Amino acid sequence: MAESCSVFGCKSTKSDTVSLHVLPKDPGTRAKWIQFIWRARAVPAKIPDKIRVCSHHFSDDSFVNFTQKLMGFASKLILNPYAVPSFYLGDNTTS
């Protein structure tokens, strides 16, 4: 089964335009991610290893090479190690 985004309500899977990101190593940043992913739901006692957050939930400046990727100089977006997801899909969807 293909990997997909773990954020509640988001069904994004990895593609050319969507990248999936694993939990950061920094404990403080990690805690913010977990808070974001579970939002109003109860956080499980043991966080699953397969947690992924897709690039839709991050602002452009969360990526160290966003401009390079946009211009075609990079094939994969690299997330700033201290970036925290901040957007929920559906909050301002246009589709």
- Asked whether position 51 contacts Zn ion by CB under 5 A, the answer is no
- Asked whether position 23 contacts Zn ion by CB under 5 A, the answer is no
Give the one residue of 7, 20, 37, 79 binding Zn ion; rule: CB under 5 A: 7
* DSSP labels, 8-72: TT---B--SS--EEPPPSSHHHHHHHHHHHHTTSPPPSS--TT--EEGGGS-GGGBTTHHHHHTT
Give the one residue of 3, 10, 71, 83 binding Zn ion; rule: CB under 5 A: 10
Residues forming the site for Zn ion (CB under 5 A): 5, 7, 10, 12, 54, 56
